[in-house]
């Protein structure tokens, strides 16, 4: 079904692996569309509670876009490439189910943008993050100028965007770009552990939290208004009835997917 990614559905977790190890998992246009399709499919699968996105091999999560593919593009083609890339990243960011980036090795350019579109980021000790697009004569095109400053602040974000410098995993943790740094061999197990923890929570509440947070950053939307609406809607869900009943009866909630 897919040429550039592999899918593993196991224990309620869908693991999407970019499978272009020889190319350091560079994100060509086809790969991005496959990631979008896989995330969309996982959101429609009632057996899936969470999603992991990672790269094949120990060297790279995704070492940027595939430069050979767009080196000859004109303005119209470049604009479409960016717009399509934004659509992919927005699909991930707006996923109703939690998406964790398991960042193994290089996450540069489009790879860094892909990681930032995920809800949470766990990095291996050998991870490297950067937006080196200025070295190619372009700014980031898949949301990097926006998400990086949201995550680490304007000053630090601008420094990385303007210099094109890369930072290691521990600096990324210090900056707030990643949630946690673990040894490479512990990366996928730790991501699965985190998603298993989230699986014990209300699925509808998790979806509402993601929507409220995203709406804060969305032009033309009021995140506070969204929170009021989503909080109210929650009172009509089975999860609310189960969660409150479990709390009052001093038992563990058993939410349905």
Q: How many domains does the chain have?
A: 2
**CA Rg, the chain, in Å?**
19
Same domain, 65 and 190: yes
Q: Is 13 within a domain?
A: yes
Tell me the per-residue pLDDT of 22-71, one tens digit each, with 9 for 90 and over: 999 999 999 999 999 999 999 999 999 999 999 999 999 999 888 889 98
> Model confidence at 125, in pLDDT bands (50, 70, 90)?
very high
H or E element that contains 6: strand 5-10
Question: Annotated catalytic, 93?
Answer: no
CATH of residue 81:
3.90.226.10
H or E element that contains 81: helix 75-93
Q: Is 213 within a domain?
A: yes
Same domain, 29 and 154: yes
- pLDDT at position 257 is 78
Of the candidates 34, 113, 174, 229, the residue annotated as catalytic is: 113
Question: 215 phi and psi, to 5 degrees?
Answer: -65, -25
> Model confidence at 223, in pLDDT bands (50, 70, 90)?
very high
Tell me the per-residue pLDDT of 177-213, one tens digit each, with 9 for 90 and over: 999 999 999 999 999 999 999 999 999 999 999 999 9
Tell me the per-residue pLDDT of 39-49, one tens digit each, with 9 for 90 and over: 999 999 999 99
Q: Is 82 within a domain?
A: yes
Structural domain containing residue 241: 203-248
Same domain, 113 and 128: yes
Same domain, 47 and 171: yes
* Cα(61)–Cα(112) distance, integer angstroms: 9
Q: Supply the DSSP symbol for 93.
A: H
Q: Is 253 within a domain?
A: no
- pLDDT at position 173 is 98
> Model confidence at 219, in pLDDT bands (50, 70, 90)?
confident
Same domain, 226 and 140: no
- pLDDT at position 67 is 86
Spatial neighbors of 166 by CB under 8 A, at least 6 apart, are 108, 128, 129, 130, 132
Q: Is 255 within a domain?
A: no
Q: Which of 183, 198, 213 is the last residue of a domain?
A: 198
Of the candidates 21, 93, 133, 174, the residue annotated as catalytic is: 133
pTM assigned to the model = 0.95
Same domain, 119 and 239: no
Question: Annotated catalytic, 69?
Answer: no
């Amino acid at each position: 079904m897919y040429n550039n990614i592999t899918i593993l559905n196991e224990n309620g977790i869908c693991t999407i692996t970019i499978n272009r190890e020889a190319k350091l998992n560079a994100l060509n246009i086809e790969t991005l569309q496959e990631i979008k399709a896989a995330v969309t499919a996982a959101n429609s699968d009632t057996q899936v509670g969470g999603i992991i996105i990672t790269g094949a091999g120990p060297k790279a999560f995704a070492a940027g876009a595939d430069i050979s593919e767009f080196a000859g593009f004109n303005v119209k083609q470049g604009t479409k490439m960016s717009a399509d890339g934004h659509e992919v990243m927005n699909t991930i960011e707006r996923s109703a189910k939690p998406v964790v980036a398991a960042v193994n090795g290089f996450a540069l350019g489009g790879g860094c943008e892909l990681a930032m579109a995920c809800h949470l980021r766990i990095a291996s000790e050998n991870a490297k993050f950067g937006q080196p697009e200025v070295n190619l004569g372009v700014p980031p095109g898949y949301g990097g100028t926006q998400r990086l400053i949201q995550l680490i602040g304007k000053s630090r974000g601008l420094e990385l965007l303007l210099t094109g410098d890369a930072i290691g995993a521990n600096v990324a943790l210090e900056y707030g770009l990643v949630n946690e740094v673990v040894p490479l061999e512990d990366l996928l197990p730790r991501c699965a552990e985190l998603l298993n923890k989230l699986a014990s929570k209300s699925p509808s509440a998790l979806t509402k939290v993601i929507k409220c947070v995203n709406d804060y950053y969305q032009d033309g939307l009021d995140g506070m208004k969204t929170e009021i609406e989503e909080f109210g809607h929650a009172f009509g869900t089975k999860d609310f009835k189960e969660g409150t009943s479990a709390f009052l009866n001093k038992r563990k909630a058993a939410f349905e997917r």
